[in-house]
Amino acid sequence: MRASDADREHVADVLRQAASDGRLSLTELEERIEALYAAKTYADFEPVISDLPGDVPLPPSSAVVRRTASAPAPSQSPSARVGGVPSARSAKVVFSGIQRRGDWVVPQYYRIKAVFGGADLDLREATLEAAEVEIDIRAVFGGVNIVVPPDLRVSVDGDGIFGAFNDDTTRGPQPDPGAPVVRITGKAVFGGVNVQRKSAGER
Protein backbone atom coordinates (compact mmCIF):
# COMPACT_ATOMS: atom_id res chain seq x y z
CA MET A 1 0.00 0.00 0.00
CA ARG A 2 1.25 3.48 -0.83
CA ALA A 3 2.50 5.57 2.09
CA SER A 4 1.58 9.15 2.92
CA ASP A 5 3.76 12.22 3.48
CA ALA A 6 2.91 12.05 7.19
CA ASP A 7 4.33 8.50 7.29
CA ARG A 8 7.53 9.66 5.61
CA GLU A 9 7.91 12.45 8.16
CA HIS A 10 7.47 9.91 10.97
CA VAL A 11 10.33 7.80 9.57
CA ALA A 12 12.42 10.94 9.00
CA ASP A 13 12.07 11.74 12.72
CA VAL A 14 13.37 8.26 13.53
CA LEU A 15 16.39 8.83 11.28
CA ARG A 16 17.13 12.26 12.78
CA GLN A 17 16.94 10.84 16.28
CA ALA A 18 19.32 8.03 15.29
CA ALA A 19 21.78 10.61 13.93
CA SER A 20 21.57 12.69 17.12
CA ASP A 21 22.22 9.49 19.15
CA GLY A 22 25.34 8.78 17.10
CA ARG A 23 23.93 5.71 15.35
CA LEU A 24 24.16 7.35 11.89
CA SER A 25 26.76 9.64 10.38
CA LEU A 26 25.64 12.78 8.58
CA THR A 27 26.44 11.11 5.25
CA GLU A 28 24.34 8.06 6.16
CA LEU A 29 21.52 10.33 7.33
CA GLU A 30 21.50 12.22 4.03
CA GLU A 31 21.54 8.98 2.00
CA ARG A 32 18.68 7.46 3.99
CA ILE A 33 16.61 10.65 3.89
CA GLU A 34 16.91 10.65 0.08
CA ALA A 35 15.89 6.98 -0.04
CA LEU A 36 13.01 7.70 2.33
CA TYR A 37 11.51 10.49 0.24
CA ALA A 38 11.83 8.28 -2.84
CA ALA A 39 9.88 5.50 -1.07
CA LYS A 40 6.38 4.90 -2.37
CA THR A 41 5.04 2.06 -0.24
CA TYR A 42 5.18 1.00 3.41
CA ALA A 43 7.44 -1.89 2.43
CA ASP A 44 10.01 0.60 1.11
CA PHE A 45 10.41 2.02 4.63
CA GLU A 46 11.79 -1.23 6.06
CA PRO A 47 15.34 -1.07 4.56
CA VAL A 48 15.72 2.54 5.67
CA ILE A 49 15.37 1.91 9.43
CA SER A 50 15.57 -1.89 9.76
CA ASP A 51 18.81 -1.62 11.81
CA LEU A 52 17.57 1.26 14.00
CA PRO A 53 15.23 1.48 16.99
CA GLY A 54 11.86 2.88 16.07
CA ASP A 55 8.59 1.73 14.55
CA VAL A 56 7.87 1.57 10.84
CA PRO A 57 4.44 3.11 10.10
CA LEU A 58 1.86 0.45 9.34
CA PRO A 59 -0.72 0.72 6.55
CA PRO A 60 -4.27 1.52 7.63
CA SER A 61 -6.53 -1.44 8.22
CA SER A 62 -8.82 -2.67 5.50
CA ALA A 63 -11.76 -1.20 7.45
CA VAL A 64 -10.17 2.23 7.29
CA VAL A 65 -9.55 1.76 3.60
CA ARG A 66 -13.20 0.83 3.06
CA ARG A 67 -14.38 3.89 4.99
CA THR A 68 -12.05 6.11 3.00
CA ALA A 69 -13.28 4.65 -0.27
CA SER A 70 -16.92 5.19 0.66
CA ALA A 71 -16.41 8.72 2.01
CA PRO A 72 -17.33 11.67 -0.19
CA ALA A 73 -14.52 12.79 -2.43
CA PRO A 74 -12.78 15.97 -1.24
CA SER A 75 -13.34 19.10 -3.22
CA GLN A 76 -10.93 19.47 -6.09
CA SER A 77 -8.26 22.14 -6.17
CA PRO A 78 -9.34 25.23 -8.08
CA SER A 79 -6.36 24.63 -10.34
CA ALA A 80 -5.89 21.38 -12.25
CA ARG A 81 -2.18 22.08 -11.93
CA VAL A 82 -2.18 21.38 -8.19
CA GLY A 83 -2.35 17.90 -6.68
CA GLY A 84 -0.46 14.64 -6.59
CA VAL A 85 2.38 12.96 -4.72
CA PRO A 86 5.94 13.38 -6.06
CA SER A 87 8.10 10.33 -6.65
CA ALA A 88 11.28 12.13 -5.52
CA ARG A 89 12.14 15.37 -3.76
CA SER A 90 15.70 15.79 -4.94
CA ALA A 91 17.99 14.97 -7.84
CA LYS A 92 21.76 15.00 -8.11
CA VAL A 93 23.73 14.69 -11.34
CA VAL A 94 27.52 14.48 -11.49
CA PHE A 95 29.13 14.21 -14.92
CA SER A 96 25.73 13.16 -16.23
CA GLY A 97 22.27 14.52 -16.97
CA ILE A 98 18.63 14.17 -15.99
CA GLN A 99 15.35 14.98 -17.73
CA ARG A 100 11.90 15.39 -16.20
CA ARG A 101 9.08 15.91 -18.66
CA GLY A 102 5.60 14.69 -19.43
CA ASP A 103 3.24 13.79 -16.57
CA TRP A 104 5.12 14.22 -13.28
CA VAL A 105 4.60 15.91 -9.91
CA VAL A 106 6.82 18.81 -8.83
CA PRO A 107 7.46 18.57 -5.06
CA GLN A 108 6.64 21.52 -2.83
CA TYR A 109 10.39 21.80 -2.26
CA TYR A 110 12.57 20.29 -4.98
CA ARG A 111 16.37 20.23 -4.72
CA ILE A 112 18.52 19.96 -7.85
CA LYS A 113 22.30 19.63 -7.71
CA ALA A 114 24.19 19.58 -11.01
CA VAL A 115 27.97 19.22 -10.88
CA PHE A 116 29.61 19.01 -14.29
CA GLY A 117 26.22 17.88 -15.50
CA GLY A 118 22.86 19.13 -16.68
CA ALA A 119 19.18 18.95 -15.84
CA ASP A 120 16.16 19.64 -18.08
CA LEU A 121 12.85 20.21 -16.29
CA ASP A 122 9.72 20.59 -18.41
CA LEU A 123 6.69 21.63 -16.34
CA ARG A 124 4.19 22.00 -19.19
CA GLU A 125 2.43 18.69 -18.48
CA ALA A 126 3.40 18.50 -14.80
CA THR A 127 1.27 19.06 -11.71
CA LEU A 128 2.43 20.77 -8.52
CA GLU A 129 2.27 19.22 -5.07
CA ALA A 130 1.17 22.60 -3.69
CA ALA A 131 -0.07 25.91 -5.07
CA GLU A 132 3.40 27.30 -4.44
CA VAL A 133 6.53 25.22 -5.04
CA GLU A 134 10.22 26.01 -4.79
CA ILE A 135 12.96 24.56 -6.97
CA ASP A 136 16.31 25.07 -5.26
CA ILE A 137 19.24 24.66 -7.65
CA ARG A 138 22.96 24.23 -7.10
CA ALA A 139 24.73 24.31 -10.45
CA VAL A 140 28.51 23.94 -10.30
CA PHE A 141 30.12 23.82 -13.72
CA GLY A 142 26.70 22.61 -14.82
CA GLY A 143 23.49 23.87 -16.34
CA VAL A 144 19.78 23.61 -15.62
CA ASN A 145 17.03 24.42 -18.14
CA ILE A 146 13.46 24.89 -16.94
CA VAL A 147 10.39 25.25 -19.19
CA VAL A 148 7.15 26.50 -17.62
CA PRO A 149 3.66 26.74 -19.19
CA PRO A 150 1.73 30.01 -19.65
CA ASP A 151 -0.60 29.33 -16.69
CA LEU A 152 2.09 29.30 -13.98
CA ARG A 153 3.59 32.33 -12.30
CA VAL A 154 7.37 32.30 -11.96
CA SER A 155 9.74 33.94 -9.48
CA VAL A 156 13.47 33.63 -10.16
CA ASP A 157 15.78 34.63 -7.32
CA GLY A 158 19.13 32.90 -7.70
CA ASP A 159 22.72 34.04 -7.27
CA GLY A 160 25.37 33.67 -9.94
CA ILE A 161 29.08 33.38 -9.14
CA PHE A 162 30.81 33.40 -12.50
CA GLY A 163 27.43 32.09 -13.60
CA ALA A 164 23.90 33.37 -14.09
CA PHE A 165 20.16 32.84 -13.64
CA ASN A 166 18.38 33.86 -16.85
CA ASP A 167 14.64 34.52 -16.61
CA ASP A 168 12.91 34.79 -19.99
CA THR A 169 9.40 34.36 -18.55
CA THR A 170 8.91 38.10 -18.04
CA ARG A 171 8.35 38.59 -21.76
CA GLY A 172 4.85 38.46 -23.17
CA PRO A 173 1.51 37.96 -21.38
CA GLN A 174 1.60 36.95 -17.72
CA PRO A 175 -0.74 34.50 -15.92
CA ASP A 176 -3.48 35.59 -13.52
CA PRO A 177 -2.38 36.80 -10.05
CA GLY A 178 -4.10 33.78 -8.47
CA ALA A 179 -2.21 31.24 -10.59
CA PRO A 180 0.09 28.67 -8.91
CA VAL A 181 3.65 29.87 -8.30
CA VAL A 182 7.01 28.27 -9.11
CA ARG A 183 9.87 29.86 -7.19
CA ILE A 184 13.36 29.17 -8.52
CA THR A 185 16.24 29.84 -6.15
CA GLY A 186 19.80 28.70 -5.56
CA LYS A 187 23.31 29.35 -6.83
CA ALA A 188 25.12 28.92 -10.13
CA VAL A 189 28.90 28.69 -9.81
CA PHE A 190 30.60 28.61 -13.19
CA GLY A 191 27.23 27.38 -14.39
CA GLY A 192 23.89 28.62 -15.56
CA VAL A 193 20.15 28.34 -15.01
CA ASN A 194 17.79 29.23 -17.85
CA VAL A 195 14.02 29.62 -17.35
CA GLN A 196 11.68 29.88 -20.36
CA ARG A 197 7.92 30.04 -20.86
CA LYS A 198 6.51 27.88 -23.67
CA SER A 199 3.12 26.60 -24.68
CA ALA A 200 2.35 22.90 -25.08
CA GLY A 201 3.89 21.57 -28.26
CA GLU A 202 6.20 24.54 -28.70
CA ARG A 203 9.76 23.51 -29.39
Chain segment 39-91, per-residue pLDDT in tens: 888 788 888 888 877 666 655 543 344 434 444 444 334 467 888 888 888 88
Q: How far apart (Å, rounded) are the C-alpha atoms in residues 197 and 160?
A: 21
| Other Cβ atoms within 10 Å of 190 Cβ, number | 13
Report whether 130 contacts 108 (CB < 8 A). yes
pLDDT band at 120 (very low <50, low <70, confident <90, very high): very high
Beta strand pairing call for 127-128 and 143-148: unpaired
Report whether 75 contacts 96 (CB < 8 A). no
Tell me the whole-structure pTM to 2 decimals: 0.59
Question: Looking at the predicted structure, is the pLDDT value of residue 15 above 90?
Answer: no
Secondary structure (H, E, C), 140-194: ECCEEEEEECCCCEEEEEEEEECCEEEECCCCCCCCCCCCCEEEEEEEEECCEEE
Nearest residue to 194 (alpha-carbon basis) of 148, 141, 132: 148
Q: How far apart (Å, rounded) are the C-alpha atoms in residues 114 and 90?
A: 11
Task: Report the alpha-carbon angle 42-73-108, nearest 5.
Answer: 55
Q: Is 200 helix (H, G, I), strand (E, B) or coil?
A: coil
Beta strand pairing call for 153-161 and 181-189: parallel
Share of the chain above pLDDT 70, in %: 87
With a CB cutoff of 8 Å and minimum separation 6, the contacts of 136 are: 109, 110, 111, 112, 185, 186
Q: What is the pLDDT of residue 44?
A: 82
Chain segment 127-157, per-residue pLDDT in tens: 999 999 999 999 999 889 999 999 899 999 8
Q: How far apart (Å, rounded) are the C-alpha atoms in residues 171 and 103?
A: 26
Q: How far apart (Å, rounded) are the C-alpha atoms in residues 120 and 172?
A: 23
Q: How far apart (Å, rounded) are the C-alpha atoms in residues 17 and 37?
A: 17
